[in-house]
Structure 1
Amino acid sequence: MRINRLSKAIATGLCAGLILQTTACGTVLYPERKGQTGGQLDPAIVALDAIGLLFFFVPGVIAFAVDFSNGTIYLPGGSAELTEEQMDRVAREDGTVDQEALEQVLESELDTPVDLKTSELRVRSLQSVEQARALIDSQPTTLAAL
C-alpha cells in the first residue's frame, strides 16, 4: 500500500515536470516577454531549460525551441531612437527634457513601462548613428538613444 502511494507520487511529479518542460520555462515564468526578437539571453531561463535537457532530453530541446521561438529566453530591454517630432514633444523651451513626456514616448516605443529614475536606464544624447552603435556595443545595458 505504501509503495502504491510512493509510485503515484513519483509518477505525478514526473508528469508535472514533463508538462512544465514541454511548455518551456521562459514562456511559463515570463509570458510578458513573448514577441521579443533578440537580446541578451536570460541565464536563469537557459539554466532551467538545460536542466530539462539533462533529465528529459526531448522535452528539454522542445523547451529551448519554444523559448527561442516565443522570445521569452531573452532578457527584457531594448533601445529607442526618437524622431524629430518626438524630440519636439519632450524638449522644453530652455533646452531641458520633460521627464514625464520622455517616459511616455519611450513606453510607447519600447512597449514596456519606463521609469527614468531607475538606475537600469541610461539616457544619452548622441550625434550620430556610429556613436550609438559604439555605445551599444560597449555596454550590454538597456539604452534609450536620443
Structure 2
Amino acid sequence: MWFWARTTRRNLLADVRCAAREKPGSVLVTALIRRHGVLLSHFDTWNLVLNDIPVHTPSTTDTEVDQTFEAIRKFTDWKWHEPKPPQLKRIIEDTWELVLDTTLWSPTDHWQATVPEVRLTDVVDAVVAEPRRRSVARRRPGAEVK
C-alpha cells in the first residue's frame, strides 16, 4: 500500500480533490505505522528512477551532473523503448540507492512510504473524498439579476 509519509497540506488537499473528482468514493486513510515496517523513499527522485534518469544528491555539482549526462549521451543509438546497454544501465542504476537515503532529504520534501499491509489497529482516521459542492450565489433581496 502506498502512502504519503510527509507532504505539504497544499499538496495533500490537491490530491484529495483530484481523487474526489476522478475517483468518487476514494478514501483518505491516516495511519500510524512503526518505522521498521515502512519503506521510505523520496517522491521526486523515485519518479526520476521510473523515467530512467540518474539521481543526484543535493550537494552534487553542476559539473558532476554534466559529466553523468555526457556519459549517457554516448549511447546515441539507444532508444527509450529498448533494453538499456549494460554500461548505460550501470550509470543509471548506480544512483538508485539515493532514493532511499533519508539523510539527504529536506524535511520539506515529499516523502512516500510503502507497506506490505495495514492493520486496522494502525488506522487513526479514514475520510471519504467527496467532490466540492458548487456554491450558490446569494443576492440581497431586491437585487437586480444581470
- TM range, normalised to the smaller chain? under 0.3
Q: Larger relative CO (CA 8 A, sep 6+): 1 or 2?
A: 2
TM-score normalised according to structure 2 size: 0.21
TM-score normalised according to structure 1 size: 0.21
More helix by share: 1
More strand by share: 2
